[in-house]
Structure 1
Amino acid sequence: MKNLMRNEEYFEESFHDFESSKNILEKVSFEACSFEHCNFTSAKFICCKFIDCIFNNCNLSLMEIPNSRFHEVSFNECKLSGVDWTQAHWPEFNLYSELFFNKSILTNSSFFGLKLHDLKIIDCRLHEVDFRECDLTSSEITGCDMSGSLFNNTNLRSTNFSDSWGFNINVLQNSVIKAKFSRQEALVLLECLGIELVD
C-alpha cells in the first residue's frame, strides 16, 4: 500500500483498496490516476490536484477539499455524502466538464454558487443537495432521485433532467429555458404557478 506524501506527484498510478480515512493530504497531485475500492472517508485534501482521474467504488463521504482542483474527474458507484464542493478551487472559465458522477450517492452535498457548465450526474442519489445560485448550463442530471434538493436563482438553461424525479424547482425563481424534463415530472413545475390540473 502506497503512503501518500506531501508535495508528491502521481502520474498514471493505480490505487486499490487504499485506506486513508481521516488523513490529511497536502499539495498532492494526481494525474491520470485510478482509485478502486479506496476509503477516503473524512479525509482532508488541502491544495491537491486531481486531473483526469477515475474513482470506482470508493468512499469519499465527508471529505474536505479546501483549495483543491478537479479537472475531468469521474466518480463511479462512489459514496460522496456531505461533501462541500464549494471549498475547492474552481476556474472562472471552464471549457470542459470538471466532474462526472455515475451511480453515486451525493446526499447532503453542496454546490452552492458554483459555475459548473456541462456537469454530468447520472443515476445518482441527490437527497438534500444544495444547487442554489449555481450555473449548471447545459448540464446532464438524468435518472436521479433529487428529493429535498435546493434550487434558487439557479441557471438551468439547456439542462437535461430526463428521468430524474423528486425535485422542487420554482420556474419563477430559476432559469429553465430549454431545460428538459420527463413529461410526468414536469407537472410538478406548474405547482408554483398555482395551476390546478384536472383529468
Structure 2
Amino acid sequence: MTKNFKLEQPKIPLDIQPVNFQDIYYDEDLFITNSIINSTAIDSVEIEKLVINKVIFKNVRFINVSLKRIDLTDVIFENCDLSNTDFSEGIIHRVSFKECKLIGVNLSEANLGNVTFENCNVNMSDFVDARLKQVVFDHSSLQSANYCECQFSKVKFLQCDLNGINFTQTSLKGIDISTCTFESINVNIGALEGCVVSSEQAIGFATLLGLKIKG
C-alpha cells in the first residue's frame, strides 16, 4: 500500500510582480519568473521549451495554447481554464492546480513530481506514457482520462470520479482508489495486483474475472 507522503509545495516569493503574458510572448522571452498573471486570456500561443518558475496564474483562460516541453517549477494555477492546452513532454515540479478546468489537457510523456490537482475538472485528459511521482488528485473529476502506459510512484486519488478512466498497461500496485467512484474503468486485470479498493469495488472487479458471488 502507498504510505502517507508529504508533498513539496510550490515555493512562491512574497515580492512577485504582475506581468502581461502577451508582452512577454511578443518579446520572445522563453523565461518567466517571480510573477503573477491575473484575470486575462492567453490566446493562440505556441512556444516550445518555455521555462516558468515561481509564478501564480489566477483566473487565466488558455485558448488554443501549445507549450510542449514546458518546464514548470514552483507554479500555482488557481481558477484557470487550461482545457486542451498542450503540456506534452513537460517537466512539472512543485505545481498546484486549484479549482481549474483541464478538460482535454495533454500531459502525455510528461514528468510530474510533487503536483496536486484539487477540485479540478480533468475529464478526457491525456497522461499517456507520463511519469507521476508524488502526485495527488483530490476531489477531482477524471472521467475518460487516459493513463495508458503510465508510471506511478506515490500517487493518490482521493474522492475522485474515475468513470471511464483508462489505466491499460499501467500498474496500480499500491494505488488506493477506495474513496473514488466509477461505473466502469479500463484496466488490465494483472495490473490490479496490489491496488487498494473498497469492498463494493472488489465485487465489481470480481465480475470482470467471471466470478459469481453468492449473497
Aligned-partner Cα distance in 2 for 1:26–1:150: 28
Equivalences for residues 21-170 of structure 1 within 5 A: 21-86=43-108, 88=110, 90=111, 97-166=113-182, 167-168=184-185, 170=187
Secondary structure at 1:188 match in 2: helix
Aligned-partner Cα distance in 1 for 2:186–2:49: 38
> Within the alignment, does 1:4 sit opposite 2:24 as a pair?
yes
Aligned to 1:19: 41
Aligned to 1:189: 205
| TM-score w.r.t. length of structure 2 | 0.79
Secondary structure at 2:92 match in 1: strand
Higher relative contact order, chain-length normalized (CA < 8 Å, sep 6+): 2
Secondary structure at 1:190 match in 2: helix
Aligned to 2:191: 174
Query: Structure 1 regions of 5+ residues with no counterpart?
Result: none
| TM-score w.r.t. length of structure 1 | 0.85
4+ residue runs over 4 A deviation:
none
Between stretches 1-10 and 37-46, larger displacement belongs to 1-10
Between stretches 52-61 and 65-74, larger displacement belongs to 65-74
Secondary structure at 1:160 match in 2: coil
The CA deviation string for residues 74-118 of structure 1, in whole angstroms up to 9 with x for no partner, is 111111111221154x3xxx8xx3432111111111112222132
- Give 1:22 deviation, angstroms: 2.5
| Letter matched to residue 174 of structure 1 | A
CA contact (8 A) 1:152 1:173 kept: no
Aligned-partner Cα distance in 1 for 2:89–2:214: 51
The CA deviation string for residues 100-154 of structure 1, in whole angstroms up to 9 with x for no partner, is 2111111111112222132211111111111122122331012111111112221
Q: RMSD across aligned C-alpha pairs, in angstroms?
A: 2.1
Query: Structure 2 regions of 5+ residues with no counterpart?
Result: 1-18
CA contact (8 A) 1:41 1:63 kept: yes
Aligned-partner Cα distance in 2 for 1:79–1:57: 8
Secondary structure at 2:57 match in 1: strand
Aligned-pair identity in percent equals 21
Instruction: Specify whether residues 49 and 186 from structure 1 end up closer, same or farther in structure 2 by C-alpha distance, changes over 3 A only.
Output: same
Instruction: Specify whether residues 28 and 168 from structure 1 end up closer, same or farther in structure 2 by C-alpha distance, changes over 3 A only.
Output: closer
Aligned-partner Cα distance in 1 for 2:68–2:157: 28
Number of residue pairs matched?
A: 192
Instruction: Specify whether residues 169 and 43 from structure 1 end up closer, same or farther in structure 2 by C-alpha distance, changes over 3 A only.
Output: closer
CA contact (8 A) 1:169 1:189 kept: no
